[in-house]
Amino acid sequence: MPNSSTPSKFVWPPKPPATAADSSPSTPSNQSLPLPAPSLLTRLRSSLSEIEHAWLDPVALPLAQRIIQAEWHPDEPAAYCDRCGRDIGAYESDEVQCSRCARSRLPWDRCIRLGRYDAPLADWICEVKFTRWRVLGFELGRTLGKQLRAAGFTAANYPNAIIVPIPTSFRRRLSRGIDHAAVIARGVAWELELPLVRALKRKHRPSQRAVAFSDRVGNVSGSIHLRRTHAKKLAGRTVLLIDDVMTTGATMRTAARALASSGTPPGAIWVAVAGVTPDPAG
C-alpha cells in the first residue's frame, strides 16, 4: 500500500524542539536595556546635594523641620517637677513640689521647660547662643510659649502678666553679638500676646559655664539688679522670667530676688526655660 505521508523538508541547522512559549505571540526580550549615562547637569546636582547634606544641612533647616526629622517633642508635664524643673519619675512629685525642691525655698511659683538639656535641643540652644541665629531663637521661644499656654499661663488667665528675660551683660552681648535670652523671650511674648519688659540689668561676671557647680551661686550673686525706671511697671503684675538653660538655678534665683525688691511676691513669679540640665547632685 503506498505511503500517503509526505516526507518532511530537510532543514539545516536543525531547530530546537518547540515549546509552549513558542506558540504565544512574539514579545520583546525581557533583558533590560542599558540605561543612558547621566547628563552632566544631573551629576552636578547630585554632587551639590551631597555637599549640602555633609556641610550645610545643620544650619539650613528651620526648627519645625528639625523637630520632625529628629522625632523630638517637648516634655510632658509628668516628666519634670513644675516647681524646680528637674526630672522626676512616677510618684516623685505631689501637687506642690518634688522631694528635691522641698528641701529648698524657691523664689518662684512655677517652672516650665521645653525639655532636658540634651541633643537635639541642646544643639539648637547652642546654635542660637553662639551663631547668632535669631530666627531659630524666636521659634524656640514660640515653642516654649505653647508649653506655657498648655500649662495655663495665658493672657486670659494672667491679663496683667509681663515677660522679663534674664539679662546678658553688655560686654558679653558685644562679644557674642546676641542677647539670646531676650530673643527667646520675644518668641514667647509673640506666642502669648503679652508685653516684654527688660526690667533687669546684669554686671559682667565669668560665664557660669566656666566655673564649677559649687562656685556658681557666688559667681552670679549680686550680679542682677532691677532697673529703677521699671520698678513701678512691676507693681501688682505677674512676672514670667525667661532663660535659655537652667543648671543649678543660681541665675534664676538671683533674678527672682531682684524682682522681689520691687515688691513682687514669689507667688507672682513664673520661670520658663528652653532646657534644664541633669541634676548636678545626681
Which tens digit of pLDDT belongs to each residue from 9-28? 655 656 655 555 455 454 45
Please give the CATH topology (third level) of the domain spanning 49-276.
Answer: Rossmann fold (3.40.50)
CA 64 from chain center: how many Å? 9
Outline where the chain has alpha helix (H): 40-51, 57-60, 63-70, 121-131, 134-150, 170-176, 180-192, 216-220, 250-260
Asked whether the predicted pLDDT for residue 167 surpasses 80, the reply is yes
Top mean pLDDT of 109-123, 196-210, 213-227 is at: 109-123
Top mean pLDDT of 50-54, 228-232, 243-247 is at: 243-247
Query: Which residues are CB-contacts of 282 (< 8 A; sequence separation ≥ 6)?
Result: none
d(CA 120, CA 99): 29
State the residue for C-alpha cell 532646657: 275
What is the pLDDT of the chain when averaged over all its residues?
82
pLDDT at 217: 62
Asked whether the predicted pLDDT for residue 248 surpasses 60, the reply is yes
Q: Which of 171, 191, 193, 169 is nearest to 181 (CA)?
A: 169
Rounded percentage of the chain residues whose pLDDT exceeds 90 = 49
pLDDT at 73: 95
CB 273 within 8 A of CB 243: yes
pLDDT at 282: 43
**pLDDT tens string 226-240:** 998 888 888 889 999
Is the pTM of the predicted complex or chain greater than 0.85? no
Q: Which backbone phi and psi does 51 adopt, to 5 degrees?
A: -65, -40
d(CA 161, CA 199): 13
pLDDT at 223: 78
**pLDDT tens string 183-213:** 999 999 999 999 999 999 988 766 666 656 5
CB 182 within 8 A of CB 162: no
Q: Using DSSP, state whether 162 is helix, strand or coil.
A: strand
pLDDT at 114: 98
Asked whether the predicted pLDDT for residue 50 surpasses 50, the reply is yes
Asked whether the predicted pLDDT for residue 38 surpasses 90, the reply is no
Helix, strand and coil content of the chain, in percent to the nearest 5, comes to: 40, 15, 45
Strands 269-276 and 200-202 come out as unpaired
Phi-psi region of 9 (alpha: psi -120 to 50; beta: other; left: phi over 0): beta
Asked whether the predicted pLDDT for residue 266 surpasses 50, the reply is yes
CB 123 within 8 A of CB 166: no
